[in-house]
Structure 1
């Protein structure tokens, strides 16, 4: 079943070595600065809403709503926004929060349209702001959801206000809707092109060109998120440091072009031997790092043995004298960041080589028998 899943992933172009960063290729992660800017924009529109319905002498009288009722709704909106803002400071990447905040925005805009007696309410423009603000920050999935939500809630709002649509279908309203639709379609096209280019650049920056695995920089980036989860109470993870034994001999005997092919095949064997949620990367030279989330040290040892067996089968077929020496460590027991754990795992791996010879497995803190 695992093999079938991997085959299906390859047909669809899904690379699960990037699973931690991107569980969904249509959703992108957003920086704190971007999210803070979005929250400040929400506060700005809240203030504009208060001013629109309250302060000018000719402020529109809310249609079927008292001004006090409108103010209560606006206060409820800003309270929810403040809760989301607080949560963003605690947990930066949260698609659930992004989605809740987006639908809160759409509901608030729809209420403002209902409360505004003006047929072409300025609040309709805020639908476009919600679409652009979420789509351009969080990717195409949120763009599509914001468009769908805007059309559904906007349409229901119009039907609520004007059961007889002939009352409001004029040349002005038709062109207003047409221009809004064109703006949204054009923005979607631009966002899609930008997202495609960004994803391609991100993968190129994160990929070791020889093996197709994550490079060292990407490994550390992925590890930051995994170690943050440990701080929030996630189960332990295991870090595996694997070194290809006697690789230099292959290079010296057969040439670097064969050595490169061997590294690429070793990478393929390692990647095919772990779960889709595990992280596999090339640390440099003939050294590979695996990060196994939600895995105890005993489980990591089992994985290490499986890696050695898989490589042994391949080297036997190719008649190559290669093996894997492996060091294992567990976080947070052996460190609260990847650098600290790797220092200990690296020592364990070289102790294994020195004490047991090539092809050994040693855990951090394990004592070799005399």
Structure 2
């Protein structure tokens, strides 16, 4: 028996297809496979039978061919899931972040972009193309070998502390090792960057409870260690820290990786609300449906080179993958 738990969370689409071929071959040879995934299209493509778990209990089981993925999503969340990718009308404003031919020590090789207020700009590409390195360079976690990062009117050498003070917030893709202090409480994770604002523990706990309610975090309370939360609730705390500390430009690297569909829906709605409030979001994702569903514009990174951003409506998953792999776009595509 083979048990696969979120096996494609860090794979490119091409590598995921190779994995699917292998799983089917093992099945045909008589191997039993338990495949755990939040990507419902994978469940639909691979499985003959399904089981839905919610809050540690089995709530439904049956033949995959006899159920829709919308119904599975509802069973996972415990309520009707509508408008998964909500994108309210937005009118992008003035530029708040510009990259001009930015190059890092290895990746990216050359990346230029303009992010405007009230906009969600998506970065697509295969793993290793340089998307994460670009976000880290913008936040001054990686050295900028050449080119320029402009935040508002400021351009020049910087540090993560300066970026923080300039209103940038960075959510890294590795929340367990970099995004959270897992053994610290939710209160500490939310408030450590500006802990000096409060002297009274009661006031600190009260504000943490307010953020827990606002973000819909399922937990035992402000003093619970972050390690004990599910992946989706951990991600909400990581996002909440940026918002609580006034981040105006959010750099989000794989913000929904490893979280269930209910948490994804809440994160998508939060991103939509932030853009509606005038904040700017630069989002890296390997999950193409969420880029197409949440972003106003999308740019594609291929071997360290970033394409010009185009309106999301001009892209399809097929076109993005061709651009991400450096394949010429056929005339009929």
Give the TM-score category using the shorter length: under 0.3
In our comparison, the structure showing a higher alpha carbon Rg is: 1
Kindly indicate which of the two structures has a greater share of residues assigned to helix.
1
- Give the TM-score normalised by the residue count of structure 1: 0.22
